[in-house]
Amino acid sequence: MFRLLRPLAASVTYTRWLHLLIPGAGYSVWVFISPDSPWVPMLFAVPIGLLPGMRLAEGVQAQLLLSPEDRGRADPSISTASASTWVDRWRTVLWLEMRLLLAAPVWLATVWLPVTAVELSLAAFGRSPSSEWLVPGGEPHWWFGLFVPLPLLALLSVVVVSGRLITAGARWLLGPSQVQRLTALEERTEQLLERNRIARELHDSIGHALTVAVVQAGAARAAQDPAFTERALAAIEETGRDALDDLERVLRVLRESEAPAGQRPTLVEADRLLDSARGSGAKIDADMSGPLGQVPGAISREGYRILQESLTNVLRHSGSVPVRVRIAVTEGRLELEVTNPLGDAAAAPGGGSGLRGIRERAALLGGRATTGPCEGEWRVHAILPLDGLRIAP
Enumerate the β-bridge partners of residue 377: 341, 374
Q: Measure the CA–CA gap between 76 and 175, rounded to whole angstroms.
A: 8
Count other C-beta atoms under 10 Å from residue 332's C-beta: 10
Give pLDDT tens digits for 76-96. 888 888 887 888 889 999 999
Comparing CA positions, the residue from 119, 145, 140 lying closest to residue 130 is 119
**DSSP, res 264:** P
Q: Which helix (H) or strand (E) holds 380?
A: strand 377-385
Specify the range with the lowest mean pLDDT, choosing from 4-13, 172-181, 293-302. Answer: 172-181
Specify the range with the lowest mean pLDDT, choosing from 24-28, 218-222, 326-330, 382-386. Answer: 218-222
Over 60: is that where the pLDDT of 255 sits? Answer: no
Q: Measure the CA–CA gap between 32 and 15, rounded to whole angstroms.
A: 26
Q: Evaluate whether 95 touches 170 at the Cβ level (below 8 Å).
A: yes
Three-state SS at 381:
strand
**DSSP, res 224:** -
Q: Measure the CA–CA gap between 258 and 261, rounded to whole angstroms.
A: 9
**What dihedral do alpha carbons 105, 107, 111, 112 form, nearest 10°?**
0
Specify the range with the lowest mean pLDDT, choosing from 38-47, 127-136, 210-219, 255-264. Answer: 255-264
Maximum average pLDDT range among 58-72, 207-221, 340-354:
58-72
Give pLDDT tens digits for 113-167. 888 888 778 777 766 555 555 555 555 566 777 888 888 899 999 999 999 999 9
Over 50: is that where the pLDDT of 348 sits? Answer: no
Q: Which residue has the higher pLDDT, 50 or 146?
A: 50
pLDDT for 325 equals 93
Within the chain, residue ranges assigned H as helices are: 2-5, 11-33, 40-49, 52-65, 86-124, 149-173, 178-223, 226-254, 270-279, 297-317, 354-364
Q: Measure the CA–CA gap between 280 and 11, rounded to whole angstroms.
A: 63
Q: Which residue has the higher pLDDT, 348 or 273?
A: 273
Residue 271: exposure state from Cβ atoms within 10 A (0-12, 13-18, ≥19): exposed
Residue 259 pLDDT class (50, 70, 90 cuts): very low
Three-state SS at 335:
strand
Distances, alpha carbon 357 to alpha carbons 242, 268, 296, in Å:
20, 21, 20
Q: How many residues does the chain have?
A: 393
Comparing CA positions, the residue from 92, 112, 94 lying closest to residue 104 is 112
Q: Evaluate whether 42 touches 30 at the Cβ level (below 8 Å).
A: no
Phi, psi of 197 (to 5 degrees): -65, -40
Strands 377-385 and 368-374: antiparallel
Q: Evaluate whether 373 touches 355 at the Cβ level (below 8 Å).
A: no
